[in-house]
Homo-oligomer: A and B are copies of this chain.
Amino acid sequence: MEAIHVGLLGLGTVGSGVVKIIEDHQDKLMHQVGCPVKVKKVLVNNLDKERQVTIDRSMLTTNVDDVIKSPDIDVVIEVMGGVEETRKYLIEALQSKKHVVTANKDLMALYGTELLSIATENGCDLFYEASVAGGIPILRSLVDGLASDRITKMMGIVNGTTNFILTKMSKFGSAYEEVLKEAQDLGYAEADPTSDVEGLDAARKMAILARLGFSMHVDLEDVKVKGISSVTDDDISYSKRLGYTMKLIGIAERENGKIEVAVEPTLLPESHPLAAVNDEYNAVYVYGEAVGETMFYGPGAGSLPTATSVVSDLVAVVKNMRLNVNGQSAIAPQYEKQLKGSEHIFAQHFLRITAKDQVGAFSNITSLFSDRGVSFEKILQLPIKNSNLAEIVIVTHKAAESDFEEILQQLNDLDVVHEVKSTYRVEGNGSL
């Protein structure tokens, strides 16, 4: 039977892993797809560089067209990274009727909608499992699940660096700066950690998940983002007292055809499955109307998990080629994007303020909430030593974001309020 030929863009750690898996598992691949799968050409920067994998020099090229335009190549695997140039290459590959597998989340978050529509126009598959939570088959599970279920909500811990930092802060009561430094020393955080700690990396992944799960053209700028750099050890310690664990959570929710996508530090009840996802691990919690709650947990990155995901995508492409169903999968957005206004985003809120310890202060504060129909689930008030201030921590019942924001404005103006220290979203408490 005729072999399927694969071209790679890039031969770094992930690329070498992909080549090795394809070579080592020829028999298994053959059993799964019914024909041989061979690596034919690999784009590299330097033909003479030493490689982590044995590869015939004749298979290497420095000319991208040998991969993306060659009539001998059926599937292009992109593991070179980068955005603008890579986008150009993949568009050309798709226009040359090559199926594409990519592990590039930045590219997919920024240009996923465009690339997927070009893929569909050209009858090609474009798979990108490894771009979100490398070692977890979450995109495939969403697609498979979607065939017979409707997804209403996803909550994900999709950034390993921030989860490592929050886990350490929570476990040892350490300060943010201290743990960030440790993460940098260990290689878990980059020298410039902005993309991770400010939530941008997580936002890219949530845009990809929301687009797929809700079948809408979700763009990166539709994701509301708040990072963890302002989270204090005090916030964590007070939330612990009330039974919560702090996580950087990506939320994507659909209600009556309208969606919300956000990434923000969020408090979860300690008993929530996502609260037990620690260190650099990732997990995605999915609510489907038929199946109910499911969660997928695993390593979010790493070259072997990522290469494994890439090969799974390759297997799916090859199966589709042989079934002649490429480019027809449910991945192209089916619904028009409609974003929820803040008056339709309901959540519980954690609020920590310092207030003057005087008669009537508490009722002044609480009346702001009751005026807008917002009630409390938990309240904690403690005196602050050697001051005439009290620390007040409140967890509201579900309230509209717009109401909560107006309450916050008014709290800031209130004479008895010394300072609004912090607010966090609270999720996972009982029913949706």
Contacts and interface: CB of A to CB of B under 8 A. Distances in A.
Interface of A: 21, 25, 28-29, 31-34, 135-137, 140-141, 144-149, 271-273, 275-278, 281, 283, 290-299, 302, 304-305, 307-308, 311-312, 315, 319, 322-325, 328-330
Given A276-B271, A325-B31, A147 B297 contact: no
Nearest to A25: B148
B298 A294 contact: yes
A298 B295 contact: yes
A148 B21 contact: yes
Contact of A290 (B137, B290, B308, B328): B308
Contacts of A147: 25, 28-29, 32, 311-312, 315
A238 to B, nearest CB: 21
B297 A292 contact: no
Contacts of A31: 325, 328-330
A291 B304 contact: yes
B312 A144 contact: yes
Contacts of A34: 323-325
B304 A290 contact: yes
A3 B303 CA distance: 42
A323 B291 contact: no
A333 to B, nearest CB: 14
A33 B282 CA distance: 31
Contacts of A145: 308
A292 B296 contact: no
A331 to B, nearest CB: 10
Contacts of A21: 148
A323 B330 contact: no
A329 B302 CA distance: 28
A344 to B, nearest CB: 28
Given A33-B323, A296-B296, A329-B32, A290 B276 contact: no
